[in-house]
Every structure is written in structure tokens, then in C-alpha cells.
Amino acid sequence: MLYLVIIFLSAFLLFQVQPLIAKLILPLFGGGAAVWTGCLLFFQAFLLLGYLYAHLLSKLKTVKLQFASHAIVLLVSMLFIPIGLNQTIEVQQSEPLNGILTLLVLSIGLPYFLLSSTGPLIQRWLSVRYANQPDFTPYRLYSLSNIGSLLALLSYPFVFESSFLLSEQLTLWSVTYGVLVLCLLWFCYQSFRLDLSGVSQEPSELSTSDINLKTPRYDWLLWLALSAIGVVLLVSITNAMTQNIPPVPFLWILPLSLYLITFIISFHSPKWYVRWYWYAFFILSSFAGLLMFFIGSQFDIISQVLIYSAILLSSCMICHGELVRIKPNTERLTLFYLNMSVGGFLGSAFVAFVAQRLFDQYLEFPIALVSVFVLLALCIWLLQAQSKGEQEKFSQAIASSSIVFAVLLVVGFVSLNEKFKENTVELSRNFFGLLSVKDVDVNGVVERRLIDGTTSHGTQYIDEQLTQVPRSYYRKDTGVALALEHLFMSPRKHVGLIGLGAGTLAAYGKKGDTYTFYELNPNVERMAREYFSYIDTSKADVRVKLGDGRVTLQRELESGDFALFDVLVIDAFSGDSIPAHLLTQEAFELYTARMKDEGIIAIHVSNSHLDLTPLVKSLADNISYSSLYVKTKANTEEVTQTEWILITKNTAFLRNTKVKRLMTEWPQSVKNLGDKKLIWTDNYSNLLSVLK
């Protein structure tokens, strides 16, 4: 049937464009996890607008007028095809969230808006068309649309991303959207020709749920709350997953897929949501979530993904299962979907706007876990099932115990958080993530650390006599120290550094040197200057330029206002990940264009979850540069092992005795490459290829 094709195809396109367009804009905003949060806010906002449009369109006087109006809007949307980034927009790093929203609105706004409206519109029209057929249940079509959405998400990383360039993906999507528009126009034309004059605009009053309640008119508040908390959990858990791993499509898609699966299960049949089972599962996973909030980074990436997935699946099953229990009859179908989309938008906006400004930690995650317990109790107390006797007593027991577990979760979080904040000098959060400054006693010596997420990005002794001693990943005899100390006889060096951290590398600066740091996060610069003294006491002329390092280097090159670097350091970590757009063929071509002939590019590849050495070695070989690997092991004074790759054409440096002594044999992952190369480009990158 044509309407099945339309519902499936519209849902498929709606969700496949999400990772596609997000990956496309990711490099423009520094490659951080918060880019996906901003994209989700746009998706939720336009889903809301699409559902609002469907609700208002369904209120037009005649169904034929609805068909005609929608056909006109469909034709107008073709002016936005093929989709792609609107190149007329200038990205403002000072307001990245506004930039993301503006870019998405002008690039894919109208097509995405119409895709969002398609599902509820078709369901509404079919409920009118088949009003006299009591067996027709439009809510099941919502389950079909979510299957289409799920297939779109699962196929993206394993089929489309791995098989097609970004430009080809955009073309395929645009062509398929054109096919969908033709199908919709044909559906409108066929429906317009039907004689609907004797059909009531209001469908039958049949209940759509075996356990539908005597729903009070404040049920819409629960629709809002359950939808909002589901999205808060989706966004906050995705943030947690990508805190130490690059925010690539696979790690966006997995939680979003689980989120959709809970909709599919819940809306296909109410019998599939067994309250007590999911409640027991959620009790275990909620307390696991409490521990993950504090010690999640200590687990390997597979364990983190599995635990967070269990938390998301159990919590969203409760939210969406209860949502189905209280869904209305079909005469309020579009209103129900509208409230769901309002809740989803409010949840996304809460994380993107409110939580970022209100909290100095990712508190929306534990708040959402507690809220699930509270909402479950409210759904049971306020909207009890029709069944009587033991079942009612059992439901009441679940409701009462939910409040008890909510209180226990709050008490547990408060006590653990007090310990977590011990020795914390400052906590700060903005669009780019969570930063903290902590004073830590190590072997009887107090050191100050700048921590991005859960990863230290710079350390300094508190003792004034030792403050200029480089620590951690940047200490003496590391790869970056070799590049900065042993390369030149010249007294003046021009050094570029992508990533500021605590400013530790400024300690290597000598009189006459120029050190230019490129830093995306303004909070990093503030904390580096306020709590660490590396920059202020450096003998070099130290400058900090805010903005994405690669974007700024490219702008300087195009303007001609730049000097060639003797050393370029790539150390732009966010958490334990490095933005993928800094490790592509095009990025390396830019780096070499900014280097002196005898210069050195030093790339920090220390990582808990990713093995970047084969990728960086392949990229160096691709531009015909020599490369060497320097691994500095931990010891009693320095607990961090550090790995650097140095890329250069400087033969004197490569022959240097100390350089040869500190060089390390390439790891097995590089040897396994053989004659093959692992190359990422701006059009193609694959996280799975560098996972440890």
C-alpha cells in the first residue's frame, strides 16, 4: 500500500539525515560532543513544528483542502534540494549553539519539517478515511515509522558511511526525498479524488489500548513529562558515551536506536511492556548509572557502552511504556503526538540551554534517573489500570517502592558527590564540556590538575620552586620535549600549538620565541591563566587565539597573515578523544603548508580507547614525511605514560643521538599495516578502524 511506503520512507529519511548532517557540520564547531546535543535540539524543535503543523492542518474545514495545502508546501520544499551546508553562513565560535541551529535551519529546515509532519498527517488522514472500520488502528503505524527510523540509523554507519563519501550521501538522500515527494503528491491526488463528503472529520471513539484509563484531562502533563525525561536520558547518556570517545555517528546512533526500539516495543502492543520486569531492570541499572557518573571513565569503552545502553533501554522502556498506557483515543491523536514532541523539545532544550548554564556538572543525568521513579509512581497513582484485586495492590507496591528508590538514589548521589568534589578548586561547564581544577597529593607532593571531563590536560606543582617544571604528558624526554628542545641552534623559534590545556608547553619557551596556542574553549584559557602560571612566567612571547585550530590555521593561510612554524603541536584533546577533522589528509596538507622545510609536527596520541598510531603513521607516509614514535613510560614520579609521533623532513633531527636513543619501536598495530595505509579524509573517517 502506498501509505505504508510513505510512512516508512519518510521515517527512514528523517533519521538518516541526522547523523549525516551532524557529521557534516562537526568540524566547523571543533568536533566536540556538544555538537550532537545542538543537533538534537534542532531535530526535536522541528519535530515539534512538524507535529504542530500536522495538528493545525488537520483542523482545516475539509480534508480536500488539507490535501491541496500540503501538496503546495511539498512542491516548495523541492527548492531546498539537493541538501547541503549553506555556505553563506559565517560560523560564530562565540555562540556555537546559535550557529549550529542557524546552519541547520537554512540547510535542511523545510525538508526536515515536512518529514516530521508526514507520520502524524498520514495517520490522521487514514483514521478519517477508515473511520467506519473499527479494526483500523492508526497508532500501530507509529511503530512502523519507528522501524523505518531504526533501519536508517543502523544502516548509516555500516552501509552508507562506510560505502559512500559525504557528497555522495547527500546526493542519495536528496534523490530519495524527491521520490518521497512524488509518492506524497500521488497520495494527496488519489485522496483528493475520493468522495469523503459523507465521512466525519472525527474518527470513532474506540479505545486504542487494552488498559486505557478513564483519562483525566490533565493527562497531557504526563505525556509532556514522560517524553521530556526520555529525551533528557537520551542526550545525557549520549554525552556520557562520547565524553572520552570522538563523537562519531556510531556512538550517536546506538543510543538513538535504543530509544527508538523502546517506542517500537511500546506502541506495537501494550502487552510487550511488562511493567514489573522493566521496573526491576531499571532499579539495577539506575544505581549502576549512579556509579558510572563518578567512575565511568575507569571502564573500557565496550563496558561503558554496554552499561549506558542498559540504563537507557530500561529507563526509556518505562517512560514510553507508561506513555502508551495513558495514550488517548484517536480523536486526540495529533494532540497526543504534539504533546510528545513538545516534551521531547523541552527535554532537549533543558540539556542544551538550562543545564549548561545552571549546573557545573552533568546533573541532568542523575536528575532524569530520579524522575523516572517519580513519574512511574504518578502514572500508577493517578491513572490506575482497570484491573482490580491483586494486580492493583501489586501496582501500588511498585509505586510506593519507586519513591523509596528515588530517595535512596538522591541520598547516594549527594554523599558520593561530596567525596568527588574533595580538593576541587573550581568546576566550570559550557558548550564545549566540563572543566575542573583539582589539587591532588601524589607521593607527598601537591600538584594542581586541569581536568577536561575525566582526563587530565595539564599538571603543575604547587611548590613555587617547581612551578616551571613541565609535568605529565609534556615532561622532559617526551616526544614533544624533543621537538621543542633539541631541534634548533637558532635562538628564535615560532611554535604553533593546537590545544592549550594548562599551558604546560609554554614552559619550554625561551627569550625570542613565539608560542601561539589555538584553543577552542574559552574556559580553558581562563583557567590556564587563573590557576596555572606556565603562560605568565614563560620567557617566550605567548599568544592565545580562540577558535577551532584547523579553521583558524586555514583562515590565516588564506589571508596571508601568518608566519611559518618551526614546530606545530597537535594536542587538541576533549576528554580522552581528539577531534577527527584534525587527523585527515586535508588537515595534514594544511599543517605542512604552515611549516618550515626543516620543521617538526608533534602529534599527541596517548589514548585509553583509541590506537591512533596506524592512522598518523599512514597520514605521514601519505605526505612523504618521515615519522618516529616516542613512548615515555610511567615511573614513580610520573604516573602517566605518554605517546607522541613526530613528523618531519629534518634529517639532522632524525640522526640526532638523543632522538635515536628516545625513539621507540612502532607498536604492532603499525607493523600489521604492512604496505597498506589507513587514511581518513574530510569525506571519509571510520572510528571502528582505530578502536583498541
**Model confidence pLDDT, tens digit, residues 422-432:** 888 998 888 88
Q: What's the total number of domains in the chain? A: 3
Per-residue pLDDT at 280: 93
pLDDT tens track for 311-330: 999 999 999 998 888 777 66
Sorting pLDDT into bands at 50, 70 and 90, what band is 495? very high
pLDDT tens digit sequence for 618-652: 999 999 999 999 999 887 777 788 999 999 999 88
**Does 343 fall in a domain?**
no
Q: What confidence tens digit (pLDDT) does each residue in 201-246 have?
A: 444 443 434 334 444 456 778 889 999 999 999 988 888 877 756 5
Residue type present at position 455: T
Q: What angle do CA 611, 38, 17 make, to 5 degrees?
A: 80
Q: Of 204, 234, 250, which marks where a domain is finished?
A: 204
pLDDT of amino acid 172: 93
> What is the spatial distance between Cα 341 and Cα 409, in angstroms, rounded to a whole number?
28
Find the mean pLDDT for residues 440-461: 83
Alpha helices in 158-248 (DSSP H): 161-163, 166-193, 219-241
Q: Which long-range contacts does 12-15 make (Cβ < 8 Å, 24+ apart)?
A: 12/148, 12/149, 12/151, 12/152, 12/176, 13/115, 13/152, 13/173, 13/176, 13/177, 13/180, 14/112, 14/115, 14/116, 14/118, 14/149, 14/152, 15/148, 15/149, 15/150, 15/152, 15/153, 15/256, 15/260
165 and 297 in a single domain? The answer is no
Q: State the pLDDT at residue 217.
A: 58
Where residue 90 sits, what CATH number does that domain have? 1.20.1250
Q: Where is mean pLDDT largest: 137-141, 461-465, 519-523?
A: 519-523
Instruction: Give the mean pLDDT of 131-144.
Output: 64
Strand 494-498 and strand 565-570: pairing?
Answer: parallel
- Residue 466: inside a domain, yes or no? no
Mean pLDDT of the chain: 83
Task: Count Cβ atoms within 10 A of the Cβ of residue 193 and give its class: 0-12 exposed, 13-18 middle, 19 or more buried.
Answer: exposed
What pLDDT shows up at residue 198?
46
pLDDT at 228: 94
Residue 445 lies in a domain: no
Q: What is the mean pLDDT of residues 19-36?
A: 77
As given in the structure block, the three cell numbers for residue 287 are: 544505581
Asked if 366 and 327 sit in the same domain, the reply is yes
- Indicate whether 38 and 95 sit together in one domain: yes
Residues 229 and 110 in one domain: no
Q: What is the pLDDT of residue 68?
A: 85
Residue 505 has pLDDT above 50, yes or no: yes
Three-state DSSP state, 24: helix
The verdict on 411 and 393 lying in the same domain is yes
Do the beta carbons of residue 598 and residue 681 sit within 8 Å?
A: no
> Whole-angstrom Cα distance, residue 169 to residue 175?
10
Predicted confidence band of residue 167 (pLDDT cuts 50, 70, 90): confident
* Number of other residues whose CB lies within 10 A of the CB of residue 559: 8
Q: How many CA atoms lie within 13 A of 65 on its CB side?
A: 9
Q: What is the DSSP string of 261-311?
A: HHHHHHHH-GGG--HHHHHHHHHHHHHHHHHHHHHGGGS-HHHHHHHHHHH
Round to whole Å and give the CA distance between 168 and 416: 49
Same domain, residue pair 144 and 263: no
Q: Strand 541-546 to strand 514-519: parallel, antiparallel, or no bridges (unpaired)? A: parallel
Q: Specify the range with the lowest mean pLDDT, choosing from 95-99, 140-144, 179-183, 203-207.
A: 203-207
249: its cell numbers: 555517528
- The C-alpha angle with vertex 38 and arms to 548 and 109, in degrees rounded to 5, equals 110
Is the residue at 347 inside a domain? no
Distant-in-sequence, close-in-space partners of 231: CB < 8 Å, separation ≥ 6: 40, 44, 343, 344, 347, 348
- Helix (H/G/I), strand (E/B), else coil: 324: helix
Examine the pLDDT at 385 and tell me if it is beyond 50: no
| Residue 432: closest CA among 498, 551, 352, 502 | 352
**Per-residue model confidence (pLDDT) at position 438:** 92
Domain assignment present for 598: yes
Q: What is the CATH number of the domain that holds 555?
A: 3.40.50.150
Residue 436 lies in a domain: no
pTM of the entire structure? 0.79
Cα–Cα–Cα angle for 632, 634, 637, rounded to 5 degrees: 120
Helices (H) and strands (E) in the chain, counts: 24, 11
Query: What mean pLDDT do residues 597-611 have?
Result: 87
pLDDT of residue 687: 72
**How deeply is 43 buried, as exposed, middle or buried, from its count of CB atoms within 10 A (0-12, 13-18, 19+)?**
buried
Peptide bond into 82 cis (omega under 30): yes
Whether the per-residue pLDDT at 47 is higher than 70: the answer is yes
> Do 141 and 255 belong to one domain?
no
Query: Does 388 or 561 have the greater pLDDT score?
Result: 561
Q: Within this chain, do residues 33 and 104 fall inside the same structural domain, yes or no?
A: yes
Residues 196 and 256 both lie in one domain: no
Rounded CA-CA distance 85/108 in Å is 8
Containing domain of residue 366, as a range? 214-331+354-422
Domain membership flag for residue 120: yes
User: What confidence category does residue 503 fall into, taking pLDDT thresholds of 50, 70 and 90?
Assistant: very high
Same domain, 261 and 319: yes
**Domain end: 422, 444, 459, which one?**
422
% residues pLDDT > 90 (the chain): 30
Banded pLDDT at 33 (limits 50, 70, 90): low
Is the model more confident about 184 or about 217?
184
Q: What is the dihedral of CA 257, 261, 262, 268, to 10 degrees?
A: 150
Angle at 272 between CA 269 and CA 276, to 5 degrees: 140
| Pair 225, 363 in one domain | yes
Asked if pLDDT for residue 88 goes beyond 60, the answer is: no
pLDDT of the residue at 603:
94
Q: Does 130 share its domain with 193?
A: yes
Q: Is 448 inside a domain boundary?
A: no
The larger pLDDT score, comparing residue 81 to residue 541, is at 541
CA distance 510 to 507: 8
Domain boundary among 185, 204, 223: 204
Residues linked to residue 445 through DSSP beta bridges, in sequence order: 442
Q: What share of the chain is helix, strand, coil (3-state, %, to 5)?
A: 60, 10, 30
Mind listing the pLDDT tens digit for each residue in 100-129?
A: 888 888 888 889 999 988 887 887 777 766
pLDDT at 576: 55
For residue 184, what pLDDT band results from cuts at 50, 70 and 90? confident
Give the separation between CA 19 and CA 255, rounded to whole angstroms: 12
